[in-house]
Structure 1
Amino acid sequence: MSEESKQSWKEWFGSQEVVRWVYLIFGFLAILMLMVILQRSTDAICCGDWDGYYHIRWSSILWQSLISGHGLPEFKWLPLTILNPQDYNDHHFLFHLLQIPFLWFFEPVTAAKVAAVFYATLAVFSVYWLLFYYKIEYLPIWLGALLTCANPFYYRMNMAKAPPLTIIFSVIGIYLLFERKYFWLLPLMFLFTWTYSLFPLLWFAALIWTAIIAWNERKFEWRPLAYTTIGLILGNVIHPYFPNNIKLFIQHLAMKIRMGNYDVPVGGEWYSYQAVELLTHLPIALLAMLVGYILFIPKARKLPEKATFFLLFVTPLLVAQFIAKRYAEYFPPFAIIFAAFSWQAFFIKDFEALPEDFRREIEPLLDKTNKESLFHDKLKTALAITIGVFFFILVLFNYRGVDLGWFKQEGLIETIRNNEPNEKYRRATEWAKANIPENEIIFNCNWDDFPKLFYFAPEHRYVYGLDPNYLYSKSPELYKLLRDITEGKVDDPGPVIREKFGARYVFTDAKECTDFVAKGLESGWFEIAYEDDEAYYLRIRDQKGSPPPIEESEFSQDEMPMEENSSSDSEENGTPDE
C-alpha cells in the first residue's frame, strides 16, 4: 500500500465522516435493541389486537399450499363476509410472502415476533439512514427525537403487520425522488401495491415532487408521476387476486373515508385522540412539526426542495392524525424528518450554498477563526449535549416509566407486558378441534376474536372477523341481526343463528356478551358444550329443551360486545388492519 493511500485512510479515520458512520451503526443497534426489548415484553404476538395471529397463520397456509404445488389457497374462513372464497383478496400478499422465511426457522408465534422486530427495525432505521445520507447535523439528537417521537408509534410498529413495510417503501421512494432516479419508482410502486393498501402514498409523494420541480425549475418533470402511475396500474392488474383486489380497495376506501362517522363501530384506532391525548401521546412529533413550520423559509424565491417536500408530505399526515389514532404508525417519524430537513435548510450557511468550485476559489479569503464563530460553535455544542441528555432521560421515561410514589407513569414496556397472553383461547380451541366437526361455522360473538380462533382452530369457519365492516358490507341485515343477538335483544336466538348463519356452535369470551349467553341458556335452545375461565362454546340444540342448571349470578354482568366499546381511548383496543 502506498504512502499516499495510507495517509488518505488515516485522514478518513480521523475525519467527521467516520464519526457519522459510528452514529449510524450506533443508531441501528439502538433501534434493534429497543425492538427486541419491546417484543420480549410479552409472549404473545404484539400488540393490543390479535391480527398478527391471522397474518402468520395465513402466511403458513400460503407457504404450505405453494410448496405442495396447489397454488394460492382458498380463503374459506369468513364465508358470510366480503372475504368469502369467491371475493377474497389478500391485500397484504407480499407482506405474507415476506413472513414466510421466518417460518422456516421458528414456530409461528416466534416467527411473527422475529419478523416484527426485523421489519420494524428496518423501518425506523430507514428513516434514520435518510438523515445520515443527506448529512443532517447532530445525528444523535435526531436519533433521540426518533426514538421518543411517540409511544403509539413504537407500539404499532411492534404489531406483526404491514405498516413497517409502508415506511420502508416510502423512504426508498423518497430517496429515488431526491436522487432523480425516477425509473426505479415503477418496480417499487408495483411491489408496494402487492404489499399494502396504502400504496397511493407513493403516488402522492411523486405528485409533490413534480410540483416542487415545476416551481423551482419552471418545467414539468413528468417522469415521477408517469412511472408511479404505470407501476400502480401494473401492480393492480398483474395481481394474483385481480380483480378482487380493486374491489376490496374501493370498499376499504368507502369504509374509512367517513372521517369517524362509521356505519359500524370499528376498532379504536379509527377514532380520534382527545386533545389532551395528542399532547401526552405525541409531544415530540408535534413539537417537531412546530419546529419544522417555524424554520421553513424559502430563500432567493426558491423552495428548499427536501424541506418543502416533507412540509407537503407530512402535513396531511398531521391532519389525518387528528382524525384517527391509526396514523400514529406513520406521522411521528416523518414529522422528525420534516423538522430535520427544515433545520438543515434554515441553518445552511450562504457560503455552503455557493457552487463548490466557487467556494474553493474564495475560501482563502474567508476568516474562519473569528472569535464570534468559535463562540457560536461552543454554544451549539453545549446546546446539543443538553438536548441529548434530555432525550436520553425521555427514552427511559417513555419505555421504563417512572414510579415516584406520588407520581406514577406506566412505560411502554409495561403496557405491552399487560397485553393478553399468547395462550388465551388455546384450551377452548383444542377442545373445539377435537369435538366440533371440521368446516363447521362457529358463531363467534365478537369479530376481534377471529384472529386467535383462526390461528388455533383453522379447521372451522367463522361468522365475521378482521373488521366488522366485512360482514356489514356483504349483508347489512345479517350484521344488524348479529348485533341484536349478541346484545341479548333476541329472545330465542338459537333457531335464528342456525337458520340465518348456518352455525350450530357459538363461541364467546367468558367476560363478554353475558346478556346473550344468559338469555340463550334460559331459552332452552343452548347448552354449554365447553367452558373455562377464558371462553365458552355453546351448542345449539336440535329442539328446545329445559334450561341447563346455572348459578343465578353467573351471567349477571351486563356487558356489551367488544365492538360497542371499540371507540375507547386505549391503544390496546381491537384494531382491524384488514
Structure 2
Amino acid sequence: MNKRAVYFRRGWKAFGALATGVLFLMVVRVNSLSPGTANCIDCFYHVAVARQGPAVFTAKTFPAASASLWATTFSDKELLFHWLLYGGGEVFNVLGGDAYSPPFHALSLLITGITLALFVLTAYRLGVRKQLFSVAALLVLFPTFTHRFLMLRPHVLSTGLMLLAAVACDYALRKEQYWPLLLAGFCYAWGYSNPHFILIPAIAFGIGWWARKGSRVWLPAFFGGAGVLTGFIMHPQFPNTFIVWKVQCVDVILNRIAGVGVIGTPSELGAPPLMTLLQNAVLPLLLFFNLLILLLLMKKYGAARLPPSLTGLNIISLIFTGGWFVSVRCIEYAAPFTILAFFVSLRYVAALWKWRAGLTARRLRLFMVEIAVFFFITAFAAGKIYIISAQEYRPASGFAAWLESRQESKEQIIANLIWSDFPFLYYAAPDYYYLSALDPMFTYAVNPGPVSHLESLLQQRKIPCPQEVSRLTGARLFFVSWRYPELQKKLKCSGYKVVYQGADGMAFSI
C-alpha cells in the first residue's frame, strides 16, 4: 500500500472516530434536556452576547454589569469562544434553525465537535492507533467529564486548546520548530480566561524531552508564553486584557487565601463528593496503570530512554487527576490526558509483559479486551443515569415579560442579589442594567466595601432592611431566582414587597 493510500485510510479512521463521538454526544444531549432548558447556568450569558454580536463582545465596556469592573473596563475573556458561537449561530439560523434558543444543541455540538477533533488530532499525532476506542473511552468512562463536556461553556474549548498545546509542544521539541506554540498561545489568550494554562503542557513535555534536548526544553514555555502575550496585545480590547486577567487569575486566588467569601460560590470549584468520586473511579485506576507502565519502562530502558510524549502525558494526567480530588473542574483536563496516556502506554505493554512474565501477545490482547469491556459496561450504566438526571435551567423569561408589560425604565439597576442569577436575567432581558456579572471579583474590584458587606450579611442569613440594600446597591428592584427559595422567604418576611412571582423567581421593590 502506497503512502497516499495509508494517509487516506488513517484519515477516514480518524473521521469515523470523530463522527461516532459527535453522534453519541448528540443522542445523549437530545435525550437529557427538555425543550427550552439548558444543562448549565453560564451558557445563557454566552449565548446572549453571541446573539448580540461583535458590537457587544468586542466592546471595551459592558454597561449591563453596572457595579462591576466590566462596566468601564471590559475585556472578553472568551472572545474566540464567542466568535465561534456567533459565526456558528448565524450560519445555523440562515439554514432555518434557531441556534440561540435553549437547549442550544447546535452551538454545543459545534464546540464539542471542535474539541473532540483536537482530541483525535492529538491522539493521531502521538501515535494512538485505535482512535475510535480512545474517543469511546473518553466519552463513556467518566460520567462527570461527559456531563461537563456537554455544557455550552468555554471550559470545553479550553480542553481542546490544551490538547492543541500538547501537540504543539511535542512537534516543537521533535522538529525544533516553535511557531505552533506561538499560535497555540495566541488562541489560548483569545479563547479562555486562564491562558497561562499553556505552561502546563509546555513544562510537562519539556521534562519528557529533557534527556534528549537539554536546556532547549524550556523553549516551548517561552514561545507559548510569548504567544499569550501577543494575543493579549493584539486583542481588540487591549489593554483591558491585562487588567481583567489580573482580577480573574490573581485577585481571585489571593482573596480566597485571605478568606474573602462569595455568596453562591460554585460547587464545581470544590472537591467532588464521595458518590462522584466513585462514579469516576476509573480515572485514578487508569492513572495507576499508566504510571506502572512508565516505571516498568524506566526499569527496562532507563530514565533517559523513556518515550518523551508518554512522559509528558503522564505528568499532565498526574497533575489534573491529583487536582480532581480537590476541585471538580480538574476532570476537564484529567480525563483526556489520562486516556491518551493509557492508549500510548498500550503500545509498550506487550513487550513489557513478555519481558516480565512471558505472556504471549495474543493472550495479552484478549485480557485487555476483557478489561475494556468490563469498564465500558459498568461505567456506561453509572454514567448514563448521572448525565440524564442532570439539573435543568431556564432563563428568566417570565420576569422579562413582566418588565416589558410594566414598561419599567431600562435605566434603572435590577439588583441580582445572587451574582450567579445574572445569566438568566441577561439572556431574557439584555437591555437592562444589573448589579454583578459572572464573577463577583469584578464587582469587588470596584466596590469592595458595599458589596462585601451585603454578601457577608446574606451569608450569615442576616437580611438587612430594604433601605440598606438600596443604599448599598443603588437599586430599588431586586431579583432572586427560583434556586433560592429560602432567601425569597426571608426577604418577604423582612419587609420586601413582592412585585413579581413566577416559575423563574421573585422580584422585590422598595
Q: TM-score, normalised by structure 2?
A: 0.85
Query: What are the Cα deviations for residues 346-385 of structure 1, in whole angstroms up to 9, with x where unaligned?
Result: 545899xxxxxxxxxxxxxxxxxxxx99x82331342243
Map of 1:63 onto structure 2: 54
Deviations 1:266-298 (A, max 9, x none): 111111124x34631321221111111100033
The equivalent of 2:116 in structure 1 is: 124
Cα 1:139–1:533 change in 2 (3 A) is closer
Q: In structure 2, what is the equivalent of residue 454 of structure 1? A: 426
Relative to structure 1, the CA distance from residue 176 to residue 518 in structure 2 (aligned partners, 3 Å threshold; closer, same or farther) is closer
For residues 334 and 484 of structure 1, what CA distance do their matches in structure 2 show? 40
Structure 2 equivalent of residue 336 of structure 1: 339
**Is 1:210 aligned to 2:215, yes or no?**
no
Q: 1:186 aligns with which of 182, 189, 199?
A: 182
Cα 1:331–1:51 shift into 2, 3 Å: same
Asked if the contact 1:399–1:411 (Cα under 8 Å) also holds between the matched residues in 2, the reply is: yes
Residues 1:376 and 1:323: Cα distance change in structure 2 (over 3 Å): same
* Residue-by-residue CA offset, 1:318-338 (whole Å, 9 max, x unaligned): 232222111122211111112
Choose the corresponding residue for 2:307, options 277, 280, 304. 304
Residue 292 of structure 2, aligned match among 285, 291, 294 = 294
Query: Aligned in 2, Cα 1:82/1:277: closer, same or farther, shift over 3 Å?
Result: farther
How many residues align structurally? 484
Bigger Cα displacement from structure 2, 132-141 vs 149-158: 132-141
Partners of 1:203 and 1:225 within 8 A in 2 = yes
The aligned residue for residue 404 of structure 1 is: none
Equivalent in the alignment of 1:270: 269
The answer (yes or no) to whether the contact 2:60–2:72 under 8 Å persists in 1 is: no
- Which deviates more from structure 2 when the two are superposed, residues 501-510 or residues 473-482? 473-482
1:289–1:256 CA distance, 2 compared to 1 (3 A): farther
In structure 2, relative to structure 1, the CA distance for the partners of 1:393 and 1:509 (3 Å cut) is same
- 1:490: Cα distance to partner? 4.5
From 72, 90, 103, the equivalent of 2:59 is 72
By how many angstroms is 1:54 displaced? 0.3
Separation in 1, partners of 2:410, 2:163: 45
Q: Distance in 2 between matches of 1:141 and 1:236?
A: 38
Larger Rg: 1
What are the superposed Cα offsets for residues 510-531 of structure 1, whole Å, 9 maximum, x if unpaired? 524134322343xxxx433222
Distance 2:311 2:14 in 1: 25
Q: Report the CA distance between 1:139 and its aligned residue.
A: 4.6
Cα gap change, 1:62/1:150 in structure 2, threshold over 3 Å: closer, same or farther? same
- The within-5 A match list for 1:544-563 is none
The alignment's TM-score, normalised by the length of structure 1, stands at 0.75
1:397: which partner in 2? Answer: 381
Q: Which runs of 5+ in 2 are unaligned?
A: none
Tell me the residue number matched to 1:95: 81
1:160 to 1:380, Cα distance in 2 relative to 1, 3 A: same
- Do structure 1's residue 175 and structure 2's residue 171 form an aligned pair? no
Q: Name the aligned partner's letter for residue 204 of structure 1.
A: I
1:158 matched to 2:150: yes
SS at match of 2:216: coil
Report the counterpart of residue 471 of structure 1 in structure 2.
443
Given that 2:99 and 2:106 are in contact with CA atoms closer than 8 Å, whether structure 1 keeps it comes out as: no
- In structure 1, distance between residues paired with 2:245 and 2:381: 40
Partner of 1:363: none
d(CA) in 1 for partners of 2:506 and 2:178? 56
Shift of residue 174, structure 1, vs aligned partner: 1.9
1:368 corresponds to: none
Question: In the aligned structure 2, how far is the partner of 1:65 from the partner of 1:138?
Answer: 43
Which residue of 1 is the match for residue 477 of structure 2?
505
Specify the alignment match of 1:495 in structure 2.
Answer: 467
Q: Residue type of the partner of 1:93?
A: L
Kept after mapping to 2: 8 A contact 1:141/1:384: no
Identity %: 17
2:19 to 26, 29, 37: 29
Note if contact 1:149-1:336 (Cα within 8 Å) is conserved in structure 2.
no
Alignment CA distance shift 1:17-1:149 (3 Å): farther
Q: CA deviation digits over 1:67-120, x for unaligned, max 9?
A: xxxx7373111121222x212221111111111112211341258431211221
Deviations 1:129-158 (A, max 9, x none): 433444435555434422223211111111
